[in-house]
Structure 1
Amino acid sequence: MLYILTHDILPVFSMLALGFVLGRAGKISRDEAAAVNRVAFLVLQPALILPLIAGVDFAAFRLDALALYALCQVGTFGLALLAARRVFRREPVEAWLLAMATVFVNSLLYIYPISFLIYGEAAALPITAIVAWDASATFAFFIVTTDLMANRTANAAQSLKRVGSNPVLIAIALGLIVNAAGIAVPEPLLTAMDFAGAGAAPLTLFALGVILSGQRIVPDGTVVGISAIKLLVFPALIWAALQLAPLPADWRQLFVLNAAGPSGAMAFALAMLHGVRTDAIAPVVIWTSVLSLISLAALA
Structure 2
Amino acid sequence: MLSVLTGNILPVFSVLALGFILGRAGTVSEGEARAANRIAFLIFQPALIFPLVAKYDASTFPIVALALYVAAQAICFTLAYLTARRIFGREHGESWLLGMAVVFTNTLLYVWPISVLIYGAAGATPITAIVAWDSTVSFAFFIISMELIAGKYGTGAAVRSMGRNPVLMAILLGLVVNLSGLTLPAPVETALHYAGVAASPLTLLAVGIILSGSRLTPTPVVAGISALKLLLFPAMVWALIAVVHPSDPAAPQFLLAAAGPSGMMAFSLALLHGVRTDAITPVIIWTSLLSTVPLALLA
Superposition TM-score, scaled by structure 1 size: 0.94
Q: Which residue does the alignment assign to 1:225? A: 224
| 1:59-74 map, 5 Å | 59-74=59-74
Q: Is the 8 A contact 1:68 1:241 kept in 2?
A: yes
Q: Is the 8 A contact 2:222 2:282 kept in 1?
A: yes
- Distance, in Å, in 1 between the alignment partners of 2:26 and 2:119 is 38
Q: Which residue does the alignment assign to 1:9? A: 9
What letter matches 2:161 in structure 1? Answer: R
Q: Which residue does the alignment assign to 2:113? A: 113
Q: Which residue does the alignment assign to 2:161? A: 162
Distance apart, 1:17 and its partner CA: 2.4
Q: What SS does the aligned partner of 1:296 have?
A: helix
Q: What SS does the aligned partner of 1:28 have?
A: coil
Q: Which residue does the alignment assign to 1:284? A: 283
- Distance, in Å, in 1 between the alignment partners of 2:255 and 2:100 is 18
Q: Which residue does the alignment assign to 1:77? A: 77
What letter matches 1:262 in structure 2? Answer: P
Cα distance change of structure 1 residues 173 and 45 upon mapping to structure 2, 3 Å threshold:
same
Q: Which residue does the alignment assign to 1:254? A: 253
The C-alpha deviation readout for 1:179-226, integer Å capped at 9, x for no partner, is 111111111111111111122222222222222222222111111111
Where structure 2 has 5 or more consecutive residues not aligned to the other structure, the ranges are none
Cα distance change of structure 1 residues 30 and 119 upon mapping to structure 2, 3 Å threshold:
farther
Q: Is the 8 A contact 1:76 1:103 kept in 2?
A: yes
The C-alpha deviation readout for 1:101-129, integer Å capped at 9, x for no partner, is 10011122333334334443222221111
- Distance, in Å, in 1 between the alignment partners of 2:276 and 2:269 is 11
What is the number of equivalent residue pairs in this alignment? 298
Distance apart, 1:55 and its partner CA: 0.5
Distance apart, 1:8 and its partner CA: 2.1
Distance apart, 1:246 and its partner CA: 5.4
Where structure 1 has 5 or more consecutive residues not aligned to the other structure, the ranges are none
Task: Indicate whether 1:201 and 2:229 are aligned.
Answer: no
What letter matches 1:30 in structure 2? Answer: E
Q: Is the 8 A contact 1:8 1:117 kept in 2?
A: no
Q: Which residue does the alignment assign to 2:39? A: 39
Cα distance change of structure 1 residues 275 and 295 upon mapping to structure 2, 3 Å threshold:
same
- Distance, in Å, in 2 between the alignment partners of 1:89 and 1:77 is 16
Q: What SS does the aligned partner of 1:219 have?
A: coil
Distance apart, 1:148 and its partner CA: 0.5
Cα distance change of structure 1 residues 209 and 247 upon mapping to structure 2, 3 Å threshold:
farther
| 1:128-277 map, 5 Å | 128-151=128-151, 153-243=152-242, 244-245=244-245, 248-249=248-249, 251-277=250-276
Q: Percent identity?
A: 58
The C-alpha deviation readout for 1:243-275, integer Å capped at 9, x for no partner, is 2225553x2122111111111111122112212
Cα distance change of structure 1 residues 114 and 29 upon mapping to structure 2, 3 Å threshold:
farther
What letter matches 1:225 in structure 2? Answer: G
Q: Is the 8 A contact 1:104 1:134 kept in 2?
A: yes
Task: Indicate whether 1:21 and 2:21 are aligned.
Answer: yes
What's the C-alpha RMSD, in Å, of the aligned pairs?
1.6
